[in-house]
Amino acid sequence: MWFLIFVCVSTVCGVPIKNPPQNNVAAPTEFQDQIVQEGDILMPEDRNAVETLWLAGIVPYEISSELANREWEIQTALKMISDVTCIRFRKHTNEPNYIVFKNGRGCASYVGCRGGDQPIFFSPHCAVGNLGHEIIHALGLHHEHTRKDREDFISVQKQNIVPGRENNFNVREGKTLNLPYDVNSIMHYGQFFFSKNGLPTLVSKRSGEEMGQRKHLSPLDIKRLNKLYHCDK
């Protein structure tokens, strides 16, 4: 799982799968009006924009009026993270940098603090666990399946991937905080994500492992966030 190393300050900051999602994992959805990679990671128009962590692990937020009836779900997703880390979410007042929960065609987020009013999209098709996944993107973590060491733990079935979506499975540059690879991470792709034929696009090399769940933070997810935000200091 990848992470970002700067501090956020005031001056900066999918094609659906064909078989049913497993473990209440909503399939990544492409956004027509946004630049998207890996199905749910929003890309800024300025590709050189600074990516940062949230100052002191405090994340101001707003909930758009269109999601007022889903505030309980949003609060539950925030609590998934704040209950097990030192990261705190506060209703936005006058802070220059904050997240805004908005309705959308799917679930999607930028990675890290981008500055200003930063959207996290939460569609009617996304469950609480999917939203937790997107919030963790906003905190600074990338997808687990794109780590450099992933070939020791999973194999990518390229022949089953929807044409044009192969890049979603590329290995990315990044650091791992010296923590092990985690197939059970809430940040890992599900076994059938972006399948063109109902067959797996990812296969674990260890039998019986749950892959790509969106029900809870795994123990390693918790360790990663706490290490990233220096919660033990």
pLDDT band at 224 (very low <50, low <70, confident <90, very high): very high
Mean per-residue pLDDT, 43-66:
77
Pairing label, strands 41-43, 35-37: antiparallel
Note whether residue 23 is domain-resident.
Answer: no
- What does the block give as tokens for 53? 């962590």
Structural contact between residues 90 and 56, judged by C-beta atoms closer than 8 angstroms? no
Among 30, 45, 62, 134, which one carries the catalytic annotation?
Answer: 134
Calpha distance 157→169 (Å, rounded): 10
DSSP annotation of 92: -
Structural contact between residues 24 and 215, judged by C-beta atoms closer than 8 angstroms? yes
Calpha distance 145→150 (Å, rounded): 6
Note whether residue 20 is domain-resident.
Answer: no
Specify the pLDDT at position 209: 77
Domain with residue 128: its CATH number is 3.40.390.10
pLDDT band at 91 (very low <50, low <70, confident <90, very high): very high
Amino acid at the residue 108: A
Beta-bridge partners for 60: 90
Would the pLDDT of 33 be above 90? no
Mean per-residue pLDDT, 110-118:
92
Strand order, beta sheet including 117-121 = 35-37, 41-43, 108-109, 117-121, 98-102, 58-63, 88-91
Note whether residue 125 is domain-resident.
Answer: yes
Helix (H) or strand (E) holding 36: strand 35-37
- Per DSSP, the residues of 110-132 read -SSB-SSEEEEE--TT--HHHHH
For the chain, how many structural domains are there in total? 1
Smallest CA-to-CA distance from 88 within 145, 135, 154 is with: 135
Specify the pLDDT at position 41: 61
Q: Which residues contact 184 (CB under 8 A, 6 or more apart)?
A: 209, 210, 211, 213, 218, 220
Please state the length of the chain: 233
Q: Mean pLDDT across the chain, nearest whole number?
A: 83
Note whether residue 51 is domain-resident.
Answer: yes
Note whether residue 159 is domain-resident.
Answer: no
Note whether residue 130 is domain-resident.
Answer: yes
- Identify whether 173 is a catalytic site residue: no
Would the pLDDT of 171 be above 60? yes
Q: 148 to each of 73, 91, 172, 222, 232, how far by Cα in Å?
A: 34, 37, 7, 21, 27
pTM: 0.83
Range(s) of the domain holding residue 91: 35-143+223-228
